[in-house]
Structure 1
């Protein structure tokens, strides 16, 4: 699925991995995807979110940071947290025009390989069952030991 050939991953591969894990429908599928990605040298995690968009922004970013730290995608330093928070914020910026004023719900996917870290946001936006779908994806570089 993700050909790594031992040379490290590209930002494109890591972005694709973050999006794939964000698209998983349940925990079982998410765990299978994590195993597939790990076999290719890509660490990953995902976390669900939901609520009114504007008040949820800080909570979405916090959830991304906590998930990345708990799964050891980044260290528990301001550098690691800042990389995840920055990428999550940028991904949210890409979808905010559709989401402002609406309820949202979806999943954050985070993937890391070497110096590449990507955060993908996959979410539904709307009222009741009248949803629009949105995807945001952002990349950050950080030292391999962070």
Structure 2
């Protein structure tokens, strides 16, 4: 199939907003269509959590087969993840956050979606950040 960046973005968004119970089912459905996907949770102070968010995204993408063990793939995942974080940073700077990272690869397109809640007393803001990179096909 001729995948587009939109396909990768939609898949990563679906993974980020899915429940823990639906994750494995979605991963298998996507895999049957030739799409590789993964998801991982995170939480804490956003700025202090950025290294952990990047690390978890890389580990999840490797474990699930979205990417392989090499610096080119790691760089694409980190770049897409940092792009998503930059979209969220202004709203969450210095605040506690919690959420989920969705990762998807459709052909040469890799997308990372971060879906998170920003906690402020009893008010919760919900935000989404999305990043994309390209890699040679697997």
Q: State the TM-score, normalized to the length of structure 1.
A: 0.91
The Cα of 1:127 is off from its aligned counterpart by 2.6
SS of the residue corresponding to residue 137 of structure 2 reads: coil
- Counterpart pick for 2:75 among 58, 68, 82: 82
The ranges of structure 1 where at least 4 consecutive aligned residues each deviate by more than 6 angstroms after the TM superposition are: none
Q: CA RMSD in A?
A: 1.0
Residue aligning to 1:125: 118
Unaligned runs of 5+ in 1: 1-6
Q: TM-score with structure 2 length normalisation?
A: 0.96
Alignment of 1:1-146 (within 5 A): 7-26=1-20, 28-145=21-138
Partner in structure 2 of residue 3 of structure 1: none
Query: What corresponds to 1:4 in structure 2?
Result: none
The CA distance in 1 between the partners of 2:96 and 2:67, in whole Å, is 30
Q: How many residues align?
A: 138
Secondary structure of the residue aligned to 1:75 is coil
Instruction: Specify every segment of 5 or more residues in structure 2 that has no aligned partner in the other structure, as ranges.
Output: none
